[in-house]
Structure 1
Amino acid sequence: MLTILFAACLVLLAALPAWLTFRNLPLFQPLAPLLESDRAPAVSVLIPARNEAAGIEEAITRVLESRGVRIELLVMDDHSADQTASLVAQRASEDSRVRLLLAPELPAGWNGKQHACWHLAQAAQFEFLLFVDADVRLATDAIARLVARLQGSDVSLLSGFPHQETETWLEKLLIPMMHFVLLGYLPLDQMRANTQPGFGAGCGQLFLARRQDYFDSGGHRGIQSSRHDGLKLPRAFRAAGFKTDVCNAEDIARVRMYASAAAVVQGLLKNATEGIANDRLIGPFTVLLAGGSVLPILSLPHAIQHGWNSIAVALLALATLLSFLPRALIALRLGQSWLGVVLQPLAVAVFLGIQWWAFLRAKLGREAVAWRGRNA
């Protein structure tokens, strides 16, 4: 009886993300095509840049090629040690829509990116604020389509999830976990129906905000110490009573988040304590993720080998099939690598290992993981 109960629990844990992913995917649609309009909305495109010389020119070029909108492009050089500032200055001398700003000294208690974004917003002139990471590449109609989506809603902050380019095996394994956690554990219909901060989610690579609502919510100043604006900025908006939303930006933006396996681990460690690796969430999410994605495939051969009750074996087989379903559905819809699908149990185990590593580091008082040469 205990074996049947154990197997039934794993079925439930595996069925939860499978069911939510099935429900969420139709709600996580690409943006509507761009329609010609007589009025081009005015958008301030804001890029915080620290040591981005390798790609900042391409980022600028893509933004300047935008159609259907009137733009200004503000790039803030955040004390780069490379040629970022001079490259942006050259583009600014060639196109009046581009402005180079130099970040003030980082005050105590501030994260570098949030500090740069807050100052960029204060310098912006237009009605809409588009925060874009320097490694994101936008399609020519991206900004106009994002603005159209925002204008057609009562949302104050819209986050797009770009297409994630992955090359190393660890990228293919772990980067799609952002979609698995988003679509497998956050009911998008409920998120859109309320402003509760706990439903806040987003991707820090691409945020579009209504200017007045941004400042009324406190903007990046309200999350000044955070390293995880993807979660914290939507929650700040919601805490101020504003609605936030997410969208599938696969066809309008692309990015390679991390350029190596080591960078993947470092990046996940950087954000972990503000995500899952904290006292409140590490336990529940370990149960949800391990029970739904790791234990079924580990338990099934053990059950067969030790002659468990046939009902228990059948339930474990069902749980194992369900554990692969969410990642498979997401890969089909978003064109992600099937390596990550096949190795989903390993992906979840490694992801959880990183979360526990970050959790224990914090408990032991270890210094925050350095990112781009600094710990803030």
Structure 2
Amino acid sequence: MDALLYILAVLSLGLAALYTGVTLVNLLVFRAPPAKVGSARHPVSILIPARDEVSNIEAALTAALAQKDAQIEVVVCDDGSTDGTDSVVSRIAANDPRVRLIRGVELPPGWNGKQHACHQLALAARHPRLLFVDADVRLQPDAVVRMSGYLDAHNLSLVSGFPHQITRTLPEIIAIPQILVLLLGYLPFPMARMSNALGFAAGCGQLMLVERTAYEESGGHEAFRNRMHDGLNLPRNVRKTGGRTDILDATPLAKVRMYDNWADIWQGFTKNATEGMATPSALPVWTVLLGGGHILPFLVLALAWLSGASAAAQFALLAIMFVFAARILLAWKVRQHPVSVLLHPVGVGVTLWIQWSALRSARKGQRAVWRGRTYDVG
């Protein structure tokens, strides 16, 4: 028993050290664009897909229209809303010529709803740079000029960032921060910036700026019209056609509250899980990385303490210290709720639960449901 605990403790320490090392390196290079970069060199079309967003759309437009030092237009695609979203946009557009409303056509067979709305927005856009923004995102007044400046400074075709994630309820506090735990803990940013390999492609569909030429050469949203995960697919396709992509720290540039209840968290994370972690080949590896590095140390420590295996207990405790050191620094960097750090192992467990459930549902032929529409997954 002591020998087994010792082996598990060493394994957990190695996996925890891997996570901590990658996180620390990434935190050194994961930065927001400079606050003072002058005026944006190119006009930007801010493109907002909206389906039943009456509670969000006015605040989203107000924030978008407050952009400083940038020539912008704001185009909203009303994607079959039934709650009066279009009326709010029309009222604002009547008083500000920078705002336009387009009414989405009926969703064609084989298309994902958001991808179709974004496709129509890109066709309607008039400017050479396209900033796709979800309706629940609130841009800061310097978001466009700073993102555009970052694109220029690093000779990129596409840049995206995760806005500051507002979390208020316990399910949000537990689950939402795991997005950046995974990104910063397991995607080596220096390598992703040096290599244009598709495996390093990643992004956030909530906030994504792309050169129109690169967007069109990659096939735009039409190229992955039947897929759910725009944050992965658009950067990957831009890289395929030779464009360079990157992710920046958008914490000071925008904020968003993704979901405010457990049902939406479950549906939101499940709908595109099979395009990321939840595949038969990838999920077992992720389970070893996450379960072994973030949950196993606590189990080993408890068992070692009960059995008096002091060496195993020491290794397990060191693994826990590594993980929490990285989590504290990440939470400070992107302003995550401190309770998310305390409940970090629970968050990892919830993440794996969602991913395995999504994979099992996909294998059974079940369909994802989002915004009143159903989609095939897997």
TM over 0.5: yes
Structure 1 residue 19, shift from structure 2 partner = 0.5
Contact 1:20–1:183 (8 Å) recurs in 2: yes
Q: Cα distance, 1:4 vs. partner?
A: 2.6
Q: Give the whole-Å Cα distance in 1 for the aligned partners of 2:236 and 2:306.
A: 48
Please list the CA deviations of residues 58-82 of structure 1 after superposition, one character each: whole Å capped at 9, or x if unmatched. Answer: 1111111111111111100000111
Conserved 8 A contact 1:191-1:199: yes
- Distance in 2 between residues matched to 1:321 and 1:208, nearest whole Å: 37
What is the SS of the residue equivalent to 1:182? helix
Give the secondary structure class of the aligned counterpart of 2:272. Answer: helix
Counterpart of 2:333 in structure 1 is 333
Distance 2:311 2:306 in 1: 15
Which residue of structure 1 lines up, in the alignment, with residue 179 of structure 2? 178
Specify which of 27, 32, 35 is matched with residue 34 of structure 2.
Answer: 32
Deviates more, 1:62-71 or 1:312-321: 312-321
Structure 2 equivalent of residue 256 of structure 1: 257
Report deviation, 1:311.
2.4
Aligned residue among 9, 12, 16 for 2:14: 12
Take 1:281 and 1:328, find their aligned partners in 2: how far apart are those partners?
27
The unaligned stretches of length 5 or more in structure 1 are none
Runs of 4+ in 1 over 6 A off after TM superposition: none
User: Residue 293 of structure 1 contacts residue 324 of structure 1 at CA under 8 Å; is this kept in 2?
Assistant: no
Q: Which residue of 2 aligns with 1:371?
A: 370
The Cα shift of 1:325 comes to 2.5
1:322 aligns with 2:322: yes
Equivalent-residue separation in structure 1 for 2:292 and 2:225 (angstroms): 35
Matched residues in 2 for 1:291 and 1:330: separation? 20
Counterpart Cα distance in 1 of 2:299 and 2:227: 37
Deviations 1:258-287 (A, max 9, x none): 021221122111121111111121110000
Equivalenced residue count is 373
Aligned CA-pair RMSD = 1.3
Shift of 1:313: 2.2
Aligned to 2:275: 274
Q: Distance in 1 between matches of 2:107 and 2:14?
A: 47
Q: How do 1:181-196 and structure 2 match up within 5 A?
A: 181-196=182-197
Structure 1: how far apart are the matches of 2:312 and 2:64? Answer: 56
SS at match of 2:135: coil
Q: Structure 1 vs Structure 2: percent identity of aligned residues?
A: 46
- Structure 2 unaligned regions, length at least 5: none
Q: Is the 8 A contact 2:90 2:101 kept in 1?
A: yes
**C-alpha separation in 2, matches of 1:11 and 1:205:** 35
Structure 1 residue 330: deviation in Å? Answer: 0.6
SS at match of 1:6: helix
1:350 counterpart residue number: 350
Task: Report how far residue 40 of structure 1 moved.
Answer: 5.0
* Offset of residue 15 of structure 1: 0.8
Please give the alpha-carbon distance, in whole angstroms, between the structure 1 residues aligned to 2:38 and 2:108: 45
Contact 2:37 2:149 in 1 (8 A): no
Residues 86 and 136 of structure 1: is their aligned pair in 2 closer, same or farther, counting only changes over 3 Å?
same
Q: Could you tell me which residue of structure 1 aligns to residue 248 of structure 2?
A: 247
Q: Structure 2 CA distance, aligned partners of 1:33 and 1:71?
A: 19
In the TM superposition, what is the alpha-carbon distance from 1:241 to its structure 2 partner?
Answer: 2.0
Report deviation, 1:357. 0.6
CA contact (8 A) 1:118 1:219 kept: yes
Alpha-carbon shift at residue 196 of structure 1 (Å): 1.0
Give how far 1:115 is off: 0.7
Q: Which residue of 1 aligns with 2:87?
A: 86
Give how far 1:6 is off: 2.3
Matched with 2:98 is: 97
Residue pair 1:197, 1:235 contacting (<8 A) in 2 also: yes
Alignment of 1:16-165 (within 5 A): 16-37=18-39, 41-165=42-166
Q: Give the letter aligned to residue 141 of structure 1.
A: D
